[in-house]
Structure 1
Amino acid sequence: MAVEPTGLRARKKQRTRDALVRVALELFTAQGYEETTVDEITDAVEVSQRTFFRYFAGKEDAAFAVQEMTESLYLDALRARPPGEPPLEAMRQAVFAVWDVIEVAVSEIVPLELHMRSFRMIESTPALLAAHLRRSAEAEEVLAQLIADREGLDMALDPRPRVAVAAFSGVMRVTGRLWSQGEDLRPEAVRRLTETFLDHLTPALAGDWRGGGAAVRGTSAERAAHTERHLPAL
């Protein structure tokens, strides 16, 4: 009996997993997450329930599969940033680097338009929204540890990695929610929105909110210079 090459087996498994994700998202967005059963997903892909649970612990894992892939790409991009780059700038540039490749990466699994619609589905499904918040908190802890490692800090003694990540992640959540509620679901739209919000992140945190100080204005470079003069380096 011929033995199937390891590479071919791996590709077949990946195709099966991708098909399960694609069908799951199609059903979730078309008829609702709660209303969709695992049987419906597996019947559409023509595999067994056993096969589904070989790849996913349940429907929730399938719903977030593409997001987990993009988060993994982001962490890899952040690890690749220059070690001397300030944390907020490193996180920002890592996001932009991922956006340069994310359309291709996502499209290899699901149609980009389906990926966009899944954001709205998550926001409108209480069980998935709660899971999203839980997963985000876990991801933020991983990200904060990565920042701490980059800066040679002990998170048990220094709160700055968690503070920086919380602020950055908050911007990403707000822009993602605003984008998903809008009419333009193209990646370019969320990128422009995120760039605008991130441009205001550090200056807003550096300003004296109660002292009546004027908002920091000018170019991104001027705002960054202002921040470097008024905030200690993370």
Structure 2
Amino acid sequence: MAAQLPPAATAPAAGGTGPGLRERKKQRTRAALIEAAHRLFLSQGFAQTTVDEIASAVDVSQRTFFRYFANKDEVALAVLAIAEDYFIDRLRRRPAEENPLQAMRAAIVESWRDLGAEHRTGPGSVTSALELLQIIEDTPTLLAAHLRRAAEQERVVARLIAAREGLDPAEDLRPTVIAAVFGSVLRAAHLSWNADQEESGPEGMIALIGRYFDQLGPALAGDWRHPA
């Protein structure tokens, strides 16, 4: 979906047994490559950054880089994919009594708080996350790939909402519509953010998202002649 979330090297554990030593080492290497790429993209630009520079920053070879990522585009989008997947996991865990919009809004707030708390400064911070989103918006190949993933994310959310409500999404269009609306409102909120706003960090982003979603009802109402 178009919902864009803050990146994190790893999502908080959801319980269960942990990975083995070899798998943990692979996870650390992958996370280090994502963080190094993120830092380089922000400091010198996406087009100016090479795969060799990213690999060198982590002290690994290009061959090792390509074990984890097919290209520069993939490592740039990986930082968002982790957070998007975390949102889906949070949505699956929302109480059944919440309506779809309540569940999605609560899941996005929970995601921002959990992931934002892990990375208050540096490459995983709220500021740098949204700066990376701006790089994606300004890079046609990245934006195209991001929007393709966003479309798939919307389908995942629609299926999840349909399952929660006991609906057939092929027959009932409401899950598809609410997933599309949610993603679009969230993307608009993220794109309106700027680092100079009074309250920065996860809570600032959550407050901004809240203001946008508070306007959803008035925007869908028939009477636009009076200020919301």
TM category (shorter chain) comes to 0.7 to 0.9
**Corresponding residue for residue 70 of structure 2:** 57
Deviation at 1:109, TM superposition (A): 9.6
SS at match of 1:64: helix
Given that residues 148 and 154 in structure 1 are in contact (C-alpha distance below 8 angstroms), is that contact kept between their aligned partners in structure 2? yes
Cα distance in structure 2, aligned partners of 1:97 and 1:111: 16
Deviation at 1:66, TM superposition (A): 2.1
**Corresponding residue for residue 177 of structure 1:** 191
Unaligned runs of 5+ in 2: 1-18
- Of all paired residues, the percent bearing the same amino acid is 47
Q: Deviations over 1:161-206 (max 9, x none)?
A: 0111111111100001011x4524532222111101111213432x
SS at match of 1:135: helix
**Corresponding residue for residue 14 of structure 1:** 27
Given that residues 20 and 42 in structure 1 are in contact (C-alpha distance below 8 angstroms), is that contact kept between their aligned partners in structure 2? yes
Given that residues 113 and 203 in structure 2 are in contact (C-alpha distance below 8 angstroms), is that contact kept between their aligned partners in structure 1? no
Q: Deviations over 1:4-55 (max 9, x none)?
A: xx72222221111111111111111222212222112112222122211211
Given that residues 55 and 61 in structure 2 are in contact (C-alpha distance below 8 angstroms), is that contact kept between their aligned partners in structure 1? yes
Cα distance in structure 1, aligned partners of 2:177 and 2:65: 38
Deviation at 1:110, TM superposition (A): 4.1
Quick check: 1:99 aligned with 2:106?
no
**Corresponding residue for residue 79 of structure 1:** 92
* Count of residues in correspondence between the two structures: 207
Deviation at 1:99, TM superposition (A): 2.2
Higher deviation after alignment, 98-107 or 56-65:
98-107
Given that residues 122 and 128 in structure 2 are in contact (C-alpha distance below 8 angstroms), is that contact kept between their aligned partners in structure 1? no
Deviation at 1:124, TM superposition (A): 2.2
Quick check: 1:196 aligned with 2:205?
no
Deviation at 1:74, TM superposition (A): 0.8
SS at match of 2:215: helix
SS at match of 2:80: helix
SS at match of 1:35: coil
**Partner residue of 1:159 out of 151, 156, 173:** 173
Greater RCO structure (CA 8 Å; 6+ sep): 2
**Partner residue of 2:41 out of 28, 32, 35:** 28
Deviation at 1:133, TM superposition (A): 1.6
> What one-letter code is carried by the residue in structure 2 that aligns with 1:199?
D
Structure 1-normalised TM-score?
A: 0.80
Cα distance in structure 2, aligned partners of 1:108 and 1:147: 34
Quick check: 1:121 aligned with 2:105?
no
Unaligned runs of 5+ in 1: 1-5, 218-234
**Corresponding residue for residue 8 of structure 2:** none
